[in-house]
Amino acid sequence: MAYQPKDAFYRKAKREGYRSRAAYKLLELNRRFRVIKPGDRVVDLGAAPGGWLQVAAELAGPKGKVVGVDLQLITPFREPNLIVLQGDITTEECIEKIREALAAPANCVLSDVSPRLTGIRDADISRSIELARMALKAACSLLAPGGNFLVKIFMSEELGAFSAGIKERFRSVDRTRPEATRKGSSEIYLCARSYRGPQAGR
């Protein structure tokens, strides 16, 4: 099937006011795994253009707080519980800015980051794994014990080793592929729940 940039989920997102079709992935994932609950403090890594931020803010509610960060500038939102930052999550300076914005450890860290695709399969997979590792490192710096981590990654032979590393740090890890994932995409999501704390996996 040919790639269709303006598919049913794209059109639905436009109708319902979401910035991207990816919003429906997070809605489905949260229905299944409840990674975000009312009152939670949530961080979205690589958050542009903001579809996941919108959903996270809805799920966390007025008593929660959502912080989104990306290398790109994210157009600000009107929601008072939603903060956007511009920065590089691989730097301690950026992590510290996120901590300051949250004012307390996070209950959930999200990463829907995709590499810039080159069309060279091995290179794209390698970059996807690298981004997922960066997200995991950031999550372990930001999460409170018992917190959750949701990350996108491409299917590959390296997935097992990466999953094993997550399992050392979280009490449960599930693999899943939301309905809104594009046909032909090799992406999946790892849902890690109940962070063991900063000493785990060392």
Least-confidence region, from 117-121, 125-129, 159-163, 194-198: 117-121
Question: Looking at 6, 37, 152, 183, which residue is catalytic?
Answer: 152
Number of separate domains in the chain: 1
* 2 belongs to a structural domain: no
Q: Are 28 and 36 in contact (CB under 8 A)?
A: no
**pLDDT above 90 covers what percent of the chain?**
71
- Long-range CB pairs of 121-130, under 8 A, 24+ apart, other chains included: 124/154, 125/154, 125/156, 125/158, 125/186, 128/152, 128/153, 128/154, 128/156, 128/187, 129/153, 129/154, 129/156, 129/158, 129/162
For the entire predicted model, the pTM comes to: 0.91
* 202 belongs to a structural domain: no
pLDDT (tens digit per residue) in 93-102? 999 999 999 9
Q: Are 106 and 42 in contact (CB under 8 A)?
A: yes
Asked if pLDDT for residue 1 goes beyond 50, the answer is: no
| pLDDT score, position 3 | 40
* 3 belongs to a structural domain: no
The domain containing residue 182 runs over which residues?
A: 8-195
pLDDT (tens digit per residue) in 23-37? 999 999 999 999 999
* 128 belongs to a structural domain: yes
* 201 belongs to a structural domain: no
| pLDDT score, position 202 | 55
Asked if pLDDT for residue 5 goes beyond 80, the answer is: no
* 28 belongs to a structural domain: yes
* 70 belongs to a structural domain: yes
Q: Is 6 a catalytic residue?
A: no
* 1 belongs to a structural domain: no
CATH number for the domain that contains residue 76: 3.40.50.150
